[in-house]
Structure 1
């Protein structure tokens, strides 16, 4: 992965060169300026960390990153990888499909469930200048705003070894931050703001639903029955979860989770989906207590991070 990251860093170009290039379309240039506008909003209005990210441009074909999640088969226990500086992480990214499939084969030969997803961006947590990828040029601006603020959150607040919490915090700030930016950019009655609100509402709805689904599965795994029987019996629960989702799917307002019931469910799939939305209502409660001031919420977590109090995150989630 290090070689590919070095390649991206070396071959990316300053966005000024792209903006000055007459062969680049007006639409692409507008999208680049839009990304930089979102970044300024995140830094100046929300208090997210100032970095040199999104100041360079990289041409990419296909997904930016292939991400794999793995889990034990007889319990909702994620497999984790250890990395320098950031600690243990419950997923691993690869720049090539070949690399992620090799990892998938290794994990499955060791008896684990696996799930592969594609990512359109990632954060180096401020260590490097994260570029604007050419694939972002085609993105819907509501999704793009959310994504940029999500990744900026990782560069600002990152708790070592707390994968789920980091992603949930970034989901919350991406959702709320996108609504605030789009209100300022397009107006409170705009279609962009309406879509951002629908995404936020769907995440909250799906959060409650998948938490219940995972609790149901965990209760089953806690039974004192032979492992082989658990593995056979879980298939019926997976089928039931998919059927349940088909019934509640009509209540979703966006397409964010439209393909969930088409998945071949296993523990890794459920953990990967839950990772980003688990207990989102906790963050909403904090947001309410801070006068619905997102900057104050971000400042709160920056103070928690600076304090070095490892128990603070755990107590917040209780």
Structure 2
């Protein structure tokens, strides 16, 4: 699956929590983030150090330019974000666990102080995520663990750059910076699809303007090709999800072994259709190179990260790419009830037409 980001608000002023599992989770979360922050060095120190690898120096200098562009041209609240760098020794910063009941497409929700409920849980150590995954599997949940390239603390902390960014191609590193900075603008408790689609729209349109300034518009065509791959895959996932929803609605009238057989058939068919589609791509598709094995958790996660991107891009287009106005309009939309919000996003999506 494409590189993931997540919201990861870690406050040391958390109210007292009950239960060893909860305390253990917050312990690793706070400890992991504090460790990350303590290892961070100012970027100007890294770039001027004689021992710094020349390619890393170039990447960090490019990131500094993108950071300034984000503040001036995209009206993003940069503050001191991405002003420091951490060498992780790996291309991901945390891993996400998603868990969905065996006969459902509604993810399990984890609820946190301040940020509300989310349909994933992040871990700094893979072993911790796998331990939690085992507990869900024993309850017959479908699960998925995905590497997370970056996360946002919504402006509560000055998030650093790290190896997760600098291991990407230039255009993807810049796009991911714009994505994470967009999370500092707007966040809705419990609506992952809204939050991630909004940030992805800022990422894409910001990247388009950045590449135009850099005199490399062909880079945006590559980004659009990746987006098209995600949208084509999303169409397949949506069609299969509709069939699965109908199947799961009959679970009280059908033997579980028969339910599992029908479910496996639908997921296998989706995997074959994805393989046929991904075979046409120059880069690996959103689920990676075929063959792939899919389950409820992967489908639920993929739908949430891609659902409303055309809607937000259309909103920005109708506002003539005035980012300040776009942020205000998106914030007004966020205050509406969920049903009204979804209806307006659907109408915006229907009006969207890609202009290369």
Q: TM-score, normalised by structure 1?
A: 0.90
Match of 1:207 in 2: 234
2:184 is paired with a residue of what secondary structure?
Answer: helix
Choose which of 40, 47, 64 in structure 2 pairs with 1:36. 64
The yes-or-no answer on 1:162 pairing with 2:187 is no
Match of 2:116 in 1: 87
Q: How does 1:138-157 map to 2 (within 5 A)?
A: 138-157=167-186
In the TM superposition, what whole-angstrom CA distance separates every residue of 1:110-147 from its partner, at most 9, and x where no partner exists? 22110010012111111111111134333201211221
Mapped to 2, the partners of 1:260 and 1:71 lie a distance apart of 24
Match of 2:13 in 1: none
Task: Work out whether residues 12 and 57 of structure 1, in 8 Å CA contact, stay in contact via their aligned partners in 2.
Answer: yes
Task: Work out whether residues 208 and 279 of structure 1, in 8 Å CA contact, stay in contact via their aligned partners in 2.
Answer: no
Match of 1:21 in 2: 49
Instruction: Rate the CA distance shift 1:100–1:70 in 2: closer, same or farther, 3 A.
Output: same
Instruction: Rate the CA distance shift 1:254–1:196 in 2: closer, same or farther, 3 A.
Output: same
The yes-or-no answer on 1:55 pairing with 2:74 is no
In the TM superposition, what whole-angstrom CA distance separates every residue of 1:180-200 from its partner, at most 9, and x where no partner exists? 211111343xx4233223223
Match of 2:245 in 1: 218
2:150 is paired with a residue of what secondary structure?
Answer: coil
Shift of 1:174: 1.4
Task: Work out whether residues 40 and 85 of structure 2, in 8 Å CA contact, stay in contact via their aligned partners in 1.
Answer: yes
Mapped to 2, the partners of 1:215 and 1:294 lie a distance apart of 35
Where structure 1 has 5 or more consecutive residues not aligned to the other structure, the ranges are none
In the TM superposition, what whole-angstrom CA distance separates every residue of 1:225-281 from its partner, at most 9, and x where no partner exists? 326132231001111111121222244454242626433211001112222112433
Shift of 1:25: 2.0
Match of 2:138 in 1: 109
Match of 2:23 in 1: none
Choose which of 72, 92, 97 in structure 2 pairs with 1:68. 97
Runs of 4+ in 1 over 6 A off after TM superposition: none
Instruction: Rate the CA distance shift 1:173–1:254 in 2: closer, same or farther, 3 A.
Output: farther
Q: How does 1:152-301 map to 2 (within 5 A)?
A: 152-188=181-217, 191-223=218-250, 225-226=253-254, 228=256, 229-252=258-281, 254-257=283-286, 259=288, 261-293=290-322, 296-301=325-330
Bigger Cα displacement from structure 2, 273-282 vs 20-29: 273-282
Where structure 2 has 5 or more consecutive residues not aligned to the other structure, the ranges are 1-28, 347-356
Match of 2:151 in 1: 122
RMSD: 2.2
Q: TM-score, normalised by structure 2?
A: 0.81
Shift of 1:292: 5.0
Task: Work out whether residues 100 and 143 of structure 2, in 8 Å CA contact, stay in contact via their aligned partners in 1.
Answer: yes
Instruction: Rate the CA distance shift 1:220–1:293 in 2: closer, same or farther, 3 A.
Output: farther
